[in-house]
Every structure is written in structure tokens, then in C-alpha cells.
Amino acid sequence: MAKHRAASIDGKLSEEFAVPSHVDDVTELMAAFAERHGAAGRRLVLITSGGTKVPLESRTVRFLDNFSSGRRGASSAEYFLDAGYAVIFLHRHRSLYPYARQYSGVNLLDSLQLGGSGGGDQVVVVNREALPKIDKVLKRYQDVKRDGLLLPVEFSTLSEYLHLLKASAQVLGTLGSKAMFYLAAAVSDFYIPASDMPEHKIQSSNGPLQISMKMVPKILSPLVKDWAPRAFVISFKLETDTSILLDKARKALDTYRHQAVVANVLDTRRGYVVVVTHDTQAELILTDEDVSKGVEIEDMIVSNLTRAHAQFISKQEG
């Protein structure tokens, strides 16, 4: 019966959500990436990051979006790389990116200055005060790139996200327990089926707007049951109402039978999360001292989960 439901979600995915044109190319890249790192005995994490765009018109002017800068996904990617993982970074176009996210508030041109003109062109150098630690960050970024440890994949719309997540799950399914899913993207719960969507921009002269949205199929269900049944799967739960948060996290674990939920509240998400598993509940709290030292909560989340992942692997192998 649960199996049956997962299969019907998969069917709905092909019928009601347009398949993005780059899905085959991306799948090939992900398969080569997974094979290479799997052969090297490396653990691999798929991180999803950023919000999804839900178009209201097929020639899209307006869309529904979810609040997310992609900060959590981008910073977590750095900590997973530090822990020796290979990372597929499935992120919203123009959301924050690992390493570069450390300078996301800076205008590029405010961080550069004209140097001496040696010959024809003037040398342009970085103003180090505008980009603290840039030499170390750049070095680390270049090392990660040189070693091919980070595979970026972009989505914009909800349809793109769903199809690319399915493709990546089927690829990572081949790695068994060595694969982790870290589903930090802020995915819409609602969408408008292509068949209900007007082609052209909705006219304001038609009067007030009524939008009817259907519920997005719960893709976690076929992911856990069919596509990557042996993988270590983490979902995220963001609420604004603290009182319902843990209840919702437990309910998600009971429903989808995956390994953990990272539960967080909008206002406090940068300093407090709870990692909920079937039989544990770990509060991770950033102290004022941590903040003053530049410690980020994603460091603590990733430490917690990579430890749990190692135990998960040895249990499955034992």
C-alpha cells in the first residue's frame, strides 16, 4: 500500500510537472561523479538548497516563491567537504554558493581597486578589508575545484527541482549506505498544474485574483522507498510556530521512515536546531562564545550527521 502510493507519486511527477530539458545531461554528469567517488571509497552527499519557483502563468511573469537565501545549504557544503565527502550541490539559480557565500553581501566593485598600470592594462587587485580571509577561502575553493569534489547543479522552478532530485536519487541509489541526502531546500508545498495555468500574464483589469493551488506530491516517499532505499536521508522542517515543530518532525519520520529531520524555527534558525531521529533528539545551540569565534551552526549540524552516517554505514555493513 505504501509502495503503491510511492509509485503513484512517481506517475504524477511525469504527468503534471514538465521535465526540464537538461535532465539527461545532468544525470550523466552525476552518474560519472558518483562512480568516480564511489570507486575511491568516498562518501557522497546530495545537498539541496534554496527556494523553488512556482509559476502562475506558463509564459511566466508571476510566481510563488519560498523564503530562502540558500545560506544553510551553501555553508553545509563547505563542512561536508571538510569532512571528506564529495558533494552534489543541487541549488536554486543565483542562491548562495559554497565559499562565495562568505562574501554575498559585498558589491564586487567595492572589493576591487586599481593598482599600478604596468604596461597597457591597469592591474586590478582585491581590497582585502572588503573580503576578509580571501586568500584562504580562495585557496580552499580552488583545491575543491581542482580535486573535482563539488558538482553544482541548478534549478529554478519546482518542476526542475523535482525531476532533478529524482534523477540524482536514482544515481545515488547505486552507492547504497555511502550516500547521504541532505534536503535543505525550501520546497513549495503547493503548485498549479500545467493544465490549469493561463498562458499569458494575468490581467489586473479582470479584478481581484483567486489562485487555487494543489498539493505537491511528497517526493520523499518514493525517494526513501524506491530510488535510494539504502541511503542515509535527512529532511528539514522549518516552521514559524515553535509549538508544532517537534510534533511535525516526528510525524515526518513516522510517515517516510527516513533517518533524521533537522527541525528549526524561522526566527532562530541560525542559532538553534533540533536533530530528530527515531530514537534520539539532539538540540544544537550556538552560544554567544561560538558566535564571537565565528562558529556556524552548520558546522555542528554536519558534525552530528556525519557521525550518525558513519554509524549507519557500519551497522549496514556489519
Amino acid in the structure at residue 310: A
Q: Which is nearer to a second copy, 119 or 294 (CB)?
A: 119
Q: Which three cell numbers stand for residue 305?
A: 550527521
Q: Which three cell numbers stand for residue 252?
A: 515526518
Instruction: Report the alpha-carbon distance of residue 271 to residue 59 in Å, rounded.
Output: 40
239 contributes a contact to a second copy by CB under 8 A? yes
1 contributes a contact to a second copy by CB under 8 A? no
Q: Which three cell numbers stand for residue 311?
A: 554509524
Buried b / exposed e along 5-36 (16+ C-beta atoms within 10 A): ebeebbebbeebbebbeeeeebbebbbebbee
Going by DSSP bridges, is the β-strand pair 179-183/232-239 parallel, antiparallel, or unpaired? parallel
141 contributes a contact to a second copy by CB under 8 A? yes
Instruction: Report the alpha-carbon distance of residue 71 to residue 8 in Å, rounded.
Output: 33
35 contributes a contact to a second copy by CB under 8 A? no
Reduced to 3 states (helix: H, G, I; strand: E, B; else coil), residue 298 is helix
Instruction: Report the alpha-carbon distance of residue 2 to residue 222 in Å, rounded.
Output: 9
First to last CA, the chain: 30
Tell me if 179 sits within 8 A of 46, measured CB to CB.
yes
269 contributes a contact to a second copy by CB under 8 A? no
103 contributes a contact to a second copy by CB under 8 A? yes
272 contributes a contact to a second copy by CB under 8 A? no
Among 12, 66, 270, 277, contact with a second copy (rule: CB under 8 A): 66
**Residue 261, beta-bridge partner list:** 235, 276
Give every CB contact of residue 219 below 8 A, 6+ residues apart in sequence: 9, 13, 162, 165, 166
The residue range among 11-19, 36-44, 206-214, 283-291 that interacts with a second copy, by the rule CB under 8 A, is 206-214
Among 2, 32, 100, 285, contact with a second copy (rule: CB under 8 A): 100
59 contributes a contact to a second copy by CB under 8 A? yes
Among 8, 122, 311, 314, contact with a second copy (rule: CB under 8 A): 122
Going by DSSP bridges, is the β-strand pair 179-183/190-191 parallel, antiparallel, or unpaired? unpaired
Q: Draw the binding track, 160-189, toward a second copy (x: CB under 8 A; -: no contact).
A: --------------------------x-xx
Least distance in angstroms from the C-beta of 198 to a second copy? 10
Least distance in angstroms from the C-beta of 230 to a second copy? 28
201 contributes a contact to a second copy by CB under 8 A? yes
The residue range among 1-9, 31-39, 165-173, 198-206 that interacts with a second copy, by the rule CB under 8 A, is 198-206
Among 18, 32, 123, 295, contact with a second copy (rule: CB under 8 A): 123
Q: Which is nearer to a second copy, 136 or 315 (CB)?
A: 136
Q: Which is nearer to a second copy, 36 or 128 (CB)?
A: 128
**Residue 152, beta-bridge partner list:** 89
194 contributes a contact to a second copy by CB under 8 A? no
Among 108, 129, 292, 294, contact with a second copy (rule: CB under 8 A): 108
Among 5, 19, 42, 63, contact with a second copy (rule: CB under 8 A): 63
Tell me if 192 sits within 8 A of 214, measured CB to CB.
yes
29 contributes a contact to a second copy by CB under 8 A? no
Kindly report the CA angle at 53 between 95 and 180, in degrees rounded to 5?
A: 60
Residues at the site binding a second copy, with contacts judged by CB under 8 A: 53, 56-57, 59-67, 97, 99-100, 103, 107-109, 111-115, 121-126, 128, 131, 134-135, 137-139, 141-142, 186, 188-190, 199-202, 204, 207-216, 238-241, 266-267
